[in-house]
Structure 1
Amino acid sequence: MASLADVSPPIALGALDGRYRGAVAALVDHLSEPALNRMRVHVEVEWLIYLTDHQVVPGVRALTDDEKAQLRQVVTDFGADDIAEHAEIERETVHDVKAVEYYLKRRLQRIAPADEDRGLAELIHFCCTSEDINNLSYALMVKGAVEQVWAPKAQALVDQVAAMARELREVPLLAHTHGQPATPTTLGKELAVSAHRLGRQLRRIDGQEYLGKLNGATGTFGAHLAAVPEADWPAISRGFVESLGLVWNPLTTQIESHDWQAELYADVARFNRILHNLCTDVWTYISMGYFAQVRGQGTVGSSTMPHKVNPIRFENAEANLEVSNALLDVLASMLVTSRLQRDLTDSSMQRNIGTAFGHSILALDNASRGLAGLDAVPAAMAADLDANWEVLGEPIQSAMRALGAQGVAGMENPYERLKELTRGRRIGQAELVEFVRGLGLPAEVEERLAALTPQTYTGVADRLVDHLDG
């Protein structure tokens, strides 16, 4: 049997780089291995420019505007040939960050080739440990992936659910608490609950701090002080980290502690879990006939049953949310721990960040497509409401309680009397109205309760949807 591993171009092992490549391709610019190396080049370039601009090392000239532009162009143009060149250097160094340093030194020789400028190359990776470059690179990569790719897709889904909530705000729905018929609500209000929960998590994520450090092999600025003792290295470090758009972490070991990553991944995982809850609820409503899958459903539902239209988008979303959360959870738990001043468990773990976000994005895509293919079926919801008049036992006994508290005679034991009427049996409008009329209620209350139906017993559910706007 021929080996599929020998097929060219290479076959992807994982689903994200194979079957679902199109849905997650935008993440490649942020969280792939080449993206990591490009960001390392970016950090090294900016550190060189920062050092020379601020004359940190005495006697070293500042770079010209043209030289700085050319260095930054190295980052902008980082492509297939550069990826291959870096890989070739890494095969010699067996160290990815050192390979970035050597790669950039080659580029600097082309930009500033004069003999007197050869010393500038020694300021590339000056006083840095690999983690100084890596932690800043990952912070920038994750920040970009969240703000430019994941969050816009997540916000679009929240907006989609919110729009559905507003559209369906007045459609009455029989609630099911513990799987049993319960106080009616509206379909729009239930969707609004999900939109509100998801939106709250997005606001937390939007306020996330992305931390970074540049302080040497054990976080003491030891090499920095030895090289240039007169410089205020903590201030220089802070200025550089903040110039990258990150929050400076002043106290670290060799590694930035990654606590901010754990915080972010916990919030994204919580968003995923709320979305998972929405998917299972919508799946259930579809199975109950409350939603019809009618738009964009020209596909095969079952290979043997022609009548079927399966809710595959929501099932796919659920599966991908589970995979995403498994990775986000292990990232959050592992990254906050490092033995003494450094171990390399974080290096391997962080290479899975893109996969974690990729599965979340795939779920967002599927959930959005699934929701876009739904139409509410008010008739099905109305039929269930009409078959469950016993849910009106709650408002009747509550009205009796209020009257009893006001001293109206004959309102004793309202809960027990409604329990005897409704529990374990189905009643209809006639039985309920007869019961109400026999209670001796004040006329206004009697007429109000006699006119009540399961469809109209929705409280202020439709108005609650307005809270999505504020």
Structure 2
Amino acid sequence: MTTRISFADLEPPIALGPLDGRYRAAVAPLVDHLSEAALNRARLQVEVEWLIHLTSHGVLPGAPTLSDAEVAYLRDVVATFGAAEITELAEIEAETRHDVKAIEYFLKRRLARAAEVLGEGTALSGVGEIVHIFCTSEDINNLSYALTVRDAVGQVWLPAATGLVDDLAAMARANAEVPMLSRTHGQAATPTTLGKELAVLAHRLRRQLRRVEGAQFLGKINGATGTYGAHTISVPGVDWEAVARSFVEGLGLTWNPLTTQIESHDWQAELYADVARFNRVLHNLATDVWTYISLGYFAQRLSAQGSTGSSTMPHKVNPIRFENAEANLEISCALLDTLSATLVTSRLQRDLTDSTTQRNIGVAFGHSLLAIDNVRRGLAGLDVDAAAMERDLDGNWEVLGEAVQSAMRALQVAGVEGMADPYERLKELTRGRRVDAEGMRTFIAGLGLPDDVRARLMALTPAGYTGIAARLVRHLD
């Protein structure tokens, strides 16, 4: 039997998952925030800033005050963390078998080399024991995740999601007055406009974006069980809560004053629930647009879809952007739901279930970002077929039954005689059957309506029965 080549041994490595393979281009910006390398860079940043914070506030007796050049050197360790440093850190971790401890040793190596840059008299050569002082791994990890998730959301996900909603809102405005047959329970119903229906979805998505924009990113740095035990026994008399709070807030995060060994992750659960809800509304958009395409209300431009369509049926342009978006949104929601459900629980003061769970944050956001990209591309490749919508409206005059019976009810309330049982009379005419223009107008003419009401209803068409739908789109502004 012929031995096949093992893909596991190839260089560069073959991606196991689609986000790092087939879909890499669409999600690459997240790598700078939610990859393992980005997490380690954030850990390094937290360790560096903790060192700077302690030496800058005079809370450690005997600790030197760092010069501007020394602070710049430390921050440059973070700024220049690249491919070589990632490899070096991996080699250290292979020895330590502990990811955060490896960061500590990596930073101490850089402190030992500081004299080569700053001269033999640099204080950095003697501050190695301040690195990671009073910290448990979770002090570093919780802050690192807060920083990376905050930046991934603010710099990558939110701009993409906002761009999508802006595109949708513009599409709603452009089609505010294009009449369209509604379908409730999949059946012909009171007409609307295409723009108003798109505006509903844009409005819903914007509400979720406002929730995401208002998210808090919490952090703590209070020791092994959240008591500042090591801090107070080592350096009594210092207001360690104030030191911790100023440090956390200095990172641009919200200080959590009450924790166990871990920061409780509740903010993560809240954020992921909001992102998942955005995903689900977007899923609703994708399925609705897919349906409108199947009805012929939208025509897809082949060049915009970037595909042949069907492998055997050349007439088809498949709505693949929206179908791919559906699938990716479902995967993203499944992961976000799991993160939300599991991260809020930790046995007693600490367990490590969150460790592996949080490593999937990037995957969850990646599938959402991929779906957003798909929907934006899909929407950009659509042309509205107003004529198809007009034909559909003209084939469903029975939808005016609501208008007629509502006018009759209003007349009955006003004391006009002969308007009894309007619902039943319209039901007999319209239920389960198609009514054309002649049939509807003949029915209206025989109702004995006052002249002004009869004239108004006789002039009404399905395309004209859209209420103030076009005006409602203005709520997007």
Matches within 5 A, 1:82-231: 82-111=85-114, 113-114=120-121, 118-231=125-238
The answer to whether the aligner puts 1:80 opposite 2:83 as a matched pair is: yes
SS of residue matched to 1:224? helix
| Residue 47 (structure 1) aligns with | 50
Q: How far apart are residue 111 of structure 1 and its match? A: 2.2
Matches within 5 A, 1:42-441: 42-111=45-114, 113-114=120-121, 118-294=125-301, 295-297=303-305, 299-441=307-449
Residues of 1 paired with 2:323 and 2:158: CA distance?
22
Instruction: Judge which range, 282-291 or 2-11, deviates more.
Output: 2-11
**Amino acid of the structure 2 residue aligned with 1:92:** E
SS of residue matched to 1:375? strand
SS of residue matched to 1:424? coil
The answer to whether the aligner puts 1:448 opposite 2:456 as a matched pair is: yes
**Amino acid of the structure 2 residue aligned with 1:37:** N
Q: How far apart are residue 333 of structure 1 and its match? A: 0.4
**Amino acid of the structure 1 residue aligned with 2:288:** D
**Amino acid of the structure 2 residue aligned with 1:206:** E
| Residue 20 (structure 1) aligns with | 23
Residues of 2 paired with 1:456 and 1:339: CA distance?
62
Question: Conserved in 1, the CA contact under 8 Å of 2:292 and 2:298?
Answer: yes
Residues of 2 paired with 1:115 and 1:146: CA distance?
39
SS of residue matched to 1:215? coil
Residues of 2 paired with 1:336 and 1:366: CA distance?
32
**Amino acid of the structure 2 residue aligned with 1:466:** R
SS of residue matched to 1:296? helix
Residues of 2 paired with 1:278 and 1:181: CA distance?
19
SS of residue matched to 1:169? coil
**Amino acid of the structure 1 residue aligned with 2:161:** A
Q: How far apart are residue 55 of structure 1 and its match? A: 0.6
Residues of 1 paired with 2:9 and 2:66: CA distance?
48
Instruction: Judge which range, 211-220 or 112-121, deviates more.
Output: 112-121
Question: Conserved in 1, the CA contact under 8 Å of 2:111 and 2:124?
Answer: no
Task: Output the aligned Cα RMSD.
Answer: 1.0
Question: Conserved in 1, the CA contact under 8 Å of 2:66 and 2:123?
Answer: no
Instruction: Judge which range, 405-414 or 433-442, deviates more.
Output: 433-442
Q: How far apart are residue 266 of structure 1 and its match? A: 0.2
Q: How far apart are residue 92 of structure 1 and its match? A: 1.2
Q: Taking structure 1 as reference, are residues 57 and 427 closer, same or farther at Cα in structure 2, changes over 3 Å only? A: same
- Provide structure 1 residue ranges, at least 5 long, that are not aligned to the other structure: none
Q: Taking structure 1 as reference, are residues 116 and 5 closer, same or farther at Cα in structure 2, changes over 3 Å only? A: closer
Q: How far apart are residue 434 of structure 1 and its match? A: 1.3
Residues of 1 paired with 2:138 and 2:321: CA distance?
41
**Amino acid of the structure 2 residue aligned with 1:351:** R
Q: How far apart are residue 116 of structure 1 and its match? A: 6.5
Residues of 1 paired with 2:318 and 2:135: CA distance?
55
**Amino acid of the structure 2 residue aligned with 1:303:** S
Identity rate of aligned residues, in percent? 70
SS of residue matched to 1:175? strand
Q: How far apart are residue 117 of structure 1 and its match? A: 5.3
SS of residue matched to 1:174? strand
Q: Taking structure 1 as reference, are residues 401 and 126 closer, same or farther at Cα in structure 2, changes over 3 Å only? A: same
Residues of 2 paired with 1:400 and 1:203: CA distance?
43
Q: TM-score, normalized by length of structure 2? A: 0.97
Q: How far apart are residue 120 of structure 1 and its match? A: 1.2
Q: TM-score, normalized by length of structure 1? A: 0.98
- Provide structure 2 residue ranges, at least 5 long, that are not aligned to the other structure: none
Q: How far apart are residue 114 of structure 1 and its match? A: 4.0
Q: How far apart are residue 305 of structure 1 and its match? A: 1.1
Q: Deviations over 1:440-468 (max 9, x none)?
A: 11111110011000000000000000000
Q: Taking structure 1 as reference, are residues 437 and 115 closer, same or farther at Cα in structure 2, changes over 3 Å only? A: closer
Residues of 1 paired with 2:151 and 2:347: CA distance?
29
SS of residue matched to 1:455? helix
| Residue 30 (structure 1) aligns with | 33
Residues of 1 paired with 2:18 and 2:91: CA distance?
28
Q: Deviations over 1:284-315 (max 9, x none)?
A: 00001000002524521011111110000000
Residues of 1 paired with 2:422 and 2:262: CA distance?
66
Residues of 2 paired with 1:104 and 1:427: CA distance?
79
Q: How far apart are residue 115 of structure 1 and its match? A: 8.4
Residues of 2 paired with 1:116 and 1:289: CA distance?
73
Residues of 2 paired with 1:298 and 1:460: CA distance?
38
Residues of 2 paired with 1:219 and 1:119: CA distance?
28
SS of residue matched to 1:12? coil
Q: How far apart are residue 6 of structure 1 and its match? A: 1.6
| Residue 459 (structure 1) aligns with | 467
SS of residue matched to 1:398? helix
Residues of 2 paired with 1:219 and 1:424: CA distance?
68
**Amino acid of the structure 2 residue aligned with 1:287:** S
Residues of 2 paired with 1:56 and 1:322: CA distance?
50
Q: How far apart are residue 119 of structure 1 and its match? A: 3.7
**Amino acid of the structure 1 residue aligned with 2:151:** G
**Amino acid of the structure 2 residue aligned with 1:409:** E
